[in-house]
Amino acid sequence: MTLTQSDSIDLLKGIGPKTAAVFQKNGITTLGDLIYFFPRGWIDATTIIPIADLRPGQSGLLDVQVVTCREGVSQRTRLPYLRALIADPSGSLEAMWFHPRFLRDKIKPGAGFLLYGKLQGFRIDRTIMMGPKFVAKPSIIPVYPQIGGLPSAKIRGLMKQIEPLIASYPDYLPEEIRGKQNLLPLADALSFMHFPGEVSDIDAARHRLGFDELLIVMVPSLLTQSEREHEQTDALQDGDLPVKKW
């Protein structure tokens, strides 16, 4: 089935009545609306770094293997957790996830993953990575605004379903104007917002979309000014206004 901008979002896999209601509450009812639901930021997980180079407070992408793992319950919060010792050739550290029900069959000794997270230092001799994200490959990861508790990963999955629709988005700006203003085609700008290959893609996309926003603000004002001038010209031609003779 070929999707269009006017199609309802509930045509996408993974959107039931509850999820559709969350989007609708935030003004997103069609696929065209969803295309313009942009990330609030991006995680640069394009470069794998050794564990030994990671410092407390720093985030990074790690290529690791699980050495040991165990489950438990936090004495302070009473929340179940899974704790693992992860390692690469340069060193090791601990990672911890709360509510690990869906991770039990995934995180086992010997399993290898790409993980992105922030190293936290609670004491000089104790560092841990809390809730690192699983990454399929080195990439820039869009992070979407929180609406109704929907995780960014779910929204990224929805965007992936409409990637062909985004890539074929029509452009109202003539190629001549785009060239003079050094602007991307609109389809490329929208694609780069949701699926950037590198940081420069995001900058170029924001430049194009910023131009569009400025144009939306300016056009009504220019039209009003043009209409006013046209009315004044008509009035002069009709002799409604006195013309001083010299």
Angle at 78 between CA 72 and CA 83, to 5 degrees: 30
What confidence tens digit (pLDDT) does each residue in 237-246 have?
Answer: 555 544 433 3
* CB 60 within 8 Å of CB 116: yes
Mean predicted confidence (pLDDT) in 16-27: 96
Beta bridge partners of 117: 60
Between CA 128 and CA 119 the distance in angstroms is 6
Q: What is residue 102's predicted lDDT score, i.e. its pLDDT? A: 86
What would you measure as the largest C-alpha separation in the chain, in angstroms? 99
What confidence tens digit (pLDDT) does each residue in 161-203 have?
Answer: 999 999 999 999 999 999 999 999 999 999 999 999 999 999 9
pTM listed for this prediction = 0.81
Burial classification of residue 149, based on how many CB atoms lie within 10 Å of its CB (0-12 exposed, 13-18 middle, 19 or more buried): exposed
Q: Which two tokens stand for residue 163?
A: 């990637």
- In the chain, the amino acid numbered 78 is R
* CB 185 within 8 Å of CB 171: yes
Q: What is residue 244's predicted lDDT score, i.e. its pLDDT? A: 39
